[in-house]
Amino acid sequence: MNIVILLTAITSLASCMRTVEADNQISSIPMVESQIITSDTTISFEDIKNFTPSFTGKKQTLNWQIVSTEGNNVVAQTAKNEGDYFNLLVLNNPIYKDLSLSVKIKALAGTEDQGGGLVWRYIDNNNYYIARCNPLENNFRFYKVVNGNRKQLKSVDCTIKSGEWFIISISIIGNKITCSLNDNKMIETTDDTYTNAGRVGLWTKADAQSQFDDLKIQSIK
């Protein structure tokens, strides 16, 4: 009996240790349905005042900043992190449910990972969808992050080079999700994990140093 009690206690402790908490940033504060927006938005990144840098994983370095390139301001992820650590830059408000979302991305550096992507229906830093392109691996993938754990849902091959701009586009209506790369539909699928409205944002992994520009958000009515 004592062994059973001990095993139960150990199991309960392990379960508690696996529990992932939100990071208490602005981007983890729940928003109400009345804050869903239906107007279109284009963000050219003259500043990031309405964004919050955040992360998934054990905290390392957050370093999102506005930089000038070719006479144009863009936002760049410049930290060199490692492992299963996701660099996030999340739009504080408003929130969106059904939408089209796109952004320009240029992979600059990274030996462990490169490129980046978009997040949407973001609940907090441990729960959201991702679509990302990685020039090191030559693939384009759709994931969900649930309680801090990332699960791959779809993957396709692609040929994107480091140092060149590419565009990731997302469309989600209900549970139907389309992910496009340079205006080519690459992934079409369904998923019911996140059905409510959420925030949107930018994403890179580990040491992927990348630039982002022209974030376009269109609400689908």
pLDDT of residue 63: 96
| Residue appearing with tokens 């999340």 | 90
pLDDT of residue 202: 98
pLDDT of residue 80: 97
| Residue appearing with tokens 């890179």 | 204
Read off the pLDDT of residues 56-101 as tens digits, 9 standing for 90 and up.
Answer: 999 999 999 999 998 899 999 999 999 999 999 999 999 999 999 9
135 preceded by a cis bond (ω within 30 of 0)? no
- Examine the pLDDT at 10 and tell me if it is beyond 60: no
Q: Which residues contact 36 (CB under 8 A, 6 or more apart)?
A: 94, 95, 96, 97, 197, 219
Give the CATH number for residue 104.
2.60.120.560
pLDDT of residue 19: 64
Global pTM reads: 0.90
Which of 16, 194, 21, 210 is CA-nearest to residue 116?
210
49-88: buried (b, 16+ CB within 10 Å) or exposed (e) per residue?
eebbbbbbbeebebebeeeeeeeeebbbbebbbeeebbbb
DSSP-assigned states of every residue in 19-54: ------SGGGS---GGGB--S-EEE--S--TTEEEE
Q: Is the CB of residue 56 less than 8 Å from the CB of residue 126?
A: yes
Using 50, 70 and 90 to split pLDDT, how confident is the model at 221? confident
pLDDT of residue 21: 86
Domain range holding 149?
2-219
Work out how many domains the chain is built from and give that number.
1
Using 50, 70 and 90 to split pLDDT, how confident is the model at 37? confident
Compute the average pLDDT of residues 199-203: 97
Compute the average pLDDT of residues 171-200: 97
Using 50, 70 and 90 to split pLDDT, how confident is the model at 35? confident
Which of 175, 162, 167 is CA-nearest to residue 216?
167
User: Is residue 112 classed as helix, strand or coil in its secondary structure?
Assistant: coil
